[in-house]
A and B are shown apart, each in its own frame.
Chain A
Amino acid sequence: MARTEDGEARLARERLSAALRLTASGDPKALRRVYDLTSMKLFGICLRISGDREAAEDILQDVYVKVWRRASAFDERCASPISWLAMIARNAAIDWRRAEKRYFADGDDRLEAMADDAPLADYVMQQDEARRRLLACLDGLDEKQSDAIRRTFLGGLSYPELAAQLGAPLGTVKSWIRRGMQGLKECLGDG
């Protein structure tokens, strides 16, 4: 059972890598294939961070235009193809939030998108080594530190937004983040 799922995950990864290589060669059909394989996941990320459906769609457009431009820079030795794409989406969404400047309340889209951040059972089954290690290290941290890191990374929060969400003073929240990130780095073995 586990073997089959591993096999499927590997196949999905290879399929996506192949589509990215073709995209790098300038094949528009390959970009469409990358889009078909990943747009729902990347849209989920854009929506989670932007909290605004219309903005998330604009950000998603930018993401695939970037992918079209930068596909040749994808290096499979550094990151899995889906992680690479997910980071492009996350960074684009954070750029949008920081440019927006407005300190907005969480909209319905955002709350809905936040509803199940917990990993689904089948996701856990398919976790690759990097994800297992990261989650184990996060679980090993003080709960407040780990919660602050997860919220920030998945929500695109600024320090004041994080402090407001957690109902704690800014200085305390900063120290949770800094100590937590230090602990995380040590646990992951490259601190």
Chain B
Amino acid sequence: MVDDPTPPDRQELAAELALGLLEGADRAEALRRCLSDPAFAAEVEAWGHRLSPLLDMTRAKAPSERVWSAIEARTADMGSLRRELRLWRGGAIVAGAIAASLALVMILPVTRPVVDPVGVSQLADAQRATLMAVSYDPRTGSLRLSASGLGGEGKSPELWVIPEDGVPRSLGLIGAQGGSLPVDPGLRAFLRDGVTLAITMEDSATAPHRAPSAAPVLTGKISII
């Protein structure tokens, strides 16, 4: 760009993303970096904490009644999300292997498992609260997803796999109710131990997308057990 002889360094880019200045390809690139570079993501979040007291200066204003009615309707269906997740976790995953750990460490079987290996992941938001469980069966090439409770307002959750090269590939849109998601045969090789899965909220009409357009709402790593 003519006006910008020096591209931003890493620190500057984090500050610019946190301020919300970036748009288009620059923003997509910075968001991609948030997915692949945890230190960068932490720097962006730290800026949010530093600047948030400024928000006290905006003037309060009352929204109309319709806002609460809509929230009430949209949250009513999601009440049982946490309970479903617990049940799903207890029942479908090889006993005890995943436990309640949010660390998403690689689990090395001590003895050779009698079942075929499966990939599992727990997707969490930035505060490390687990909100979604994912398992992958390499025999059928499909993912099984717990209910996400995500969605609404024309946006749908889109699942991404981010392998070692740091470039997200869309696995497609997922429903708020979870369920089974067949993986494109060309993408199956990416679903390996240690790679990152992420969910962003995207425009459902134009999916699947070449790159995410928003910060991930949930991320996690795949462990093969």
Contacts and interface: CB of A to CB of B under 8 A. Distances in A.
Interface of A: 26, 28, 31-32, 35, 39-41, 43-45, 47-48, 56-58, 60-62, 64-65, 68-70, 72-75, 78-79, 82-84, 86-87, 89-91, 94-95, 97-99, 101, 113, 115-119, 123, 127-128, 130-131, 134-135, 149-150, 152-154, 156-159, 162, 169-171, 174, 177-178, 181-182, 184-185, 188, 190
B126 A152 contact: no
A86 B48 CA distance: 10
Contact of A149 (B19, B52, B68): B19
26 contacts: A28-B79, A35-B71, A39-B68, A40-B63, A43-B61, A60-B67, A61-B152, A64-B75, A68-B75, A69-B131, A91-B48, A94-B20, A95-B201, A95-B214, A95-B215, A98-B27, A99-B214, A113-B59, A117-B58, A119-B56, A127-B56, A152-B19, A159-B23, A177-B16, A178-B8, A181-B47
A104 B49 CA distance: 29
Interface string B128-140: 1101000000000
B55 interface: yes
Given A119-B56, A131-B53, A169 B125 contact: no
Contacts of B47: 181
A79 B48 CA distance: 10
Interface of B: 1, 3-5, 8, 11-12, 15-16, 19-23, 27, 46-64, 66-68, 70-72, 74-76, 78-79, 81-82, 125-129, 131, 149-150, 152-153, 201, 203, 213-215
A79 B57 contact: no
Contact of A72 (B19, B62, B129): B129
Nearest to B21: A159
A84 B52 CA distance: 8
B12 A171 contact: no
A68 B78 contact: yes
A65 B152 contact: yes
Contacts of B51: 134, 149, 153
A163 to B, nearest CB: 8
Given A91-B20, A150-B54, 12 more contacts: A28-B79, A39-B62, A43-B63, A60-B63, A64-B71, A72-B129, A83-B55, A87-B52, A97-B20, A123-B56, A158-B22, A170-B4
B67 A57 contact: yes
A177 B58 contact: no
B53 to A, nearest CB: 4
Contacts of B78: 65, 68-69
Contacts of B1: 170
B59 to A, nearest CB: 5
B75 A44 contact: no
